Structure 1
Amino acid sequence: MHYHMILAVISKMEKFYLLILLIGALATTCLSDTTIEESFMTIVNDCKAKENANDDDATVVINHEVPNSLTQKCLFACFYETLGVIKENQMSMVSLKTLVLSKFSQDGNAITTINELIDECGVITGDDRCELAHNILECLNNGASKRGINKKQL
């Protein structure tokens, strides 16, 4: 009974967002590495088409490198938007934490470190989606480097 009352209060968008987070967490936990990699590549390829990017641009996303062209920045923006990491011109710390922390579910020290990193970068906002994606990625990569984390784990 209480469950239905709570759901009635949550807007349709919030229900959709929570469902996506739940599916993402379950998928990350339940799917094989191959399936996760295939899903990752599907998003990259979809964004590559949307942003008129080429294979070299996609390689930057795949390797989590800081983009150096507008196309690459916008490719990251599409990727982050698809994953829910960028919402309403700011980073969604909940989405990013759900996405990244699921990879470290058994390592308490890593979880603490990742939470600190995401909190540090969570203040980044911007009106330009492509620059915002670039700034988020740059912050995450720099923070990961300072903490001895492989940027590909983010």
Structure 2
Amino acid sequence: MKTLYLLILGIGALISNCSSNTSIEETFMSIVNDCKEKESASDADVDVVINHEVPNSPTQNCLFACFYETLGVIQDGKMSIDSLKTVILAKFSGDGNAITTINGLIDECATLNGSDRCELAHNILECLNNGANKHGINKKQL
């Protein structure tokens, strides 16, 4: 459950209208279960996403695409840079230095595309992880 909470913070800050950690976890667990079912993913596939690893299979790519679509990061097959910023920056509210760094990192990913939603999700996560490494940020914070 702790790794699930870390993923919630990294991806699910968008769910900020939830008033408690429990409701955030419940909401996110609902997303996890829905996406796992929609994409016919295994528990091992979910673990890759929870650990913010770059997906290494089509199912994992599509599982992450489902997460991003649910959070509004992927809309109509394209990345919404504004939604990506909303999702990630909500966690860093009040930390001006982190917000500046994260904004720059996200802007580096602004021109991403993919041949389909699954490849786009893979490319987004790969870019975020590479940017996190470049800027000395723990990828699980994104």
- Report if TM-score (shorter chain) is over 0.5: yes
Aligned-partner Cα distance in 2 for 1:55–1:129: 21
Provide the residue aligned with 1:31 in structure 2.
19
Q: How does 1:98-109 map to 2 (within 5 A)?
A: 98-109=86-97
Displacement of 1:25: 7.2
User: Highest CA radius of gyration, 1 or 2?
Assistant: 1
The 4+ residue runs of structure 1 with deviation greater than 6 A are none
Tell me which of 122, 127, 138 is aligned to 2:110: 122
1:48 aligns with 2:63: no
Contact 1:89–1:127 (CA<8 Å) still a contact in 2? Answer: no
Aligned-pair CA distance for 1:65: 1.0
C-alpha distance 48-26 of structure 1, shift in aligned 2 (>3 A) = closer
Opposite residue 106 of structure 1, the aligned amino acid is G
Which residue does the alignment assign to 1:143?
131
Deviation, 1:41, is: 2.0
Gaps of 5+ in 1: 1-23
Q: CA deviation at 1:70?
A: 0.6
Q: Partner letter of residue 71 of structure 2? A: L
Question: What is the CA distance between 1:67 and its match in structure 2?
Answer: 0.5
- What is residue 56 of structure 2 aligned with on the other side? 68
User: Percent identity between the aligned chains?
Assistant: 74
Offset from partner CA, 1:63-117 (integer Å, 9 cap, x none): 1111111100000011101111011332111111111111001100000011111
Distance in 1, matches of 2:52 and 2:141, equals 9
Match of 1:6 in 2: none
2:114 alignment partner, SS class: coil
Shift of 1:126: 2.0
Distance 1:130-1:26 versus aligned 2 partners, 3 A rule: closer
TM-score by structure 2 length? 0.85
Q: Cα RMSD between the aligned structures?
A: 1.8
Structure with greater contact order relative to length (CA < 8 Å, sep ≥ 6) = 2
Structure 2 gaps of 5+ residues are: 1-11
State the 1:56 CA deviation. Answer: 0.6
SS of alignment partner, residue 30 of structure 2: helix
Count of aligned pairs = 131
**What amino acid is the match of 1:37?**
E
Distance 2:74 2:45 in 1: 20
